[in-house]
């Protein structure tokens, strides 16, 4: 898996592409939450849940259906009083949650990601897998191995995220952010 830090950075970068009047602090926090929550399944390791099972790590909670359900639930809970913000909020939350599986699929370890669970539990990696898989243990994360992971994520996730935010900022400054 990519680290929680990198998942949060991706959600933050995605936020830059959404209208500033919509992107409240509450929505941003919800997006970061959605980007990290799929790793709740790692608790299964402590309880003997097999890695390759439905509820195992990178199983259902990393699927597109989970991202859709989580995003719909949070959108309804957070923005029910502002229906004009619901679709854009849902889209941001969905992309934040779905990005988790995508970034785990570019790591060099694990069993892959069950993107289409529960309909198809096959686990997938993307063809390009340059990111070192992050240790699940907090103690192991703060070690030499953790530093290697962060260096890899810096190169393959953080820098592209900064480039994405820079591109969005340039596009906005050039006036291409107006719809209609």
DSSP codes, 44-63: GGGGT--TTSTTSTTSGGGS
108 pLDDT band, cuts 50/70/90, is very high
Nearest Cα neighbor of 88 from 9, 172, 19, 161 is: 19
Is pLDDT at 82 greater than 90 in this prediction? no
* 140-163 tens-digit pLDDT: 777 788 889 999 999 999 999 999
Is pLDDT at 177 greater than 60 in this prediction? no
Mean pLDDT taken over the chain = 91
The radius of gyration computed from the CA coordinates of the chain, to the nearest angstrom, equals 17
Phi first, then psi: what are they for 124, rounded to 5°? -125, 150
Nearest Cα neighbor of 60 from 29, 37, 78 is: 37
175 pLDDT band, cuts 50/70/90, is confident
139 pLDDT band, cuts 50/70/90, is confident
Peptide bond into 118 cis (omega under 30): yes
Residue-by-residue DSSP string for 7-44: HHHHHHHHHTTS-TTT--HHHHHHHHHHHHGGGGGGGG
Q: What is the pTM of this model?
A: 0.91
Is pLDDT at 171 greater than 50 in this prediction? yes
Phi first, then psi: what are they for 73, rounded to 5°? -65, -50
**Residue 180 confidence (pLDDT):** 42
Is pLDDT at 52 greater than 60 in this prediction? yes
The residues that bridge with 131 in the sheet, in sequence order, are 107
């Amino acid at each position: 898996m990519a680290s929680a830090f990198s998942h949060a950075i991706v959600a933050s970068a995605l936020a830059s592409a959404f209208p500033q009047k919509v992107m409240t602090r509450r929505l941003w926090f919800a997006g970061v939450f959605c980007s990290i929550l799929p790793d709740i399944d790692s608790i299964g390791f402590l309880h003997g849940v097999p890695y390759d099972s439905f509820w195992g790590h990178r199983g259902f909670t990393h699927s597109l259906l989970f991202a859709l359900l989580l995003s719909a639930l949070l959108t309804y809970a957070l923005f029910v009083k502002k229906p004009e913000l619901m679709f854009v909020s849902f889209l941001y939350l969905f992309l934040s949650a779905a990005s988790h599986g995508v970034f785990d699929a570019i790591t060099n370890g694990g069993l892959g990601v069950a993107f289409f669970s529960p309909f198809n539990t096959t686990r997938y990696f993307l063809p390009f897998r340059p990111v070192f898989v992050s240790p699940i243990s907090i103690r192991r994360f703060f070690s030499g191995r953790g530093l290697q992971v962060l260096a890899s994520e810096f190169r393959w996730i953080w820098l592209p995220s900064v480039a994405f935010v820079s591109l969005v900022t340039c596009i906005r400054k050039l006036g291409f952010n107006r719809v209609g």
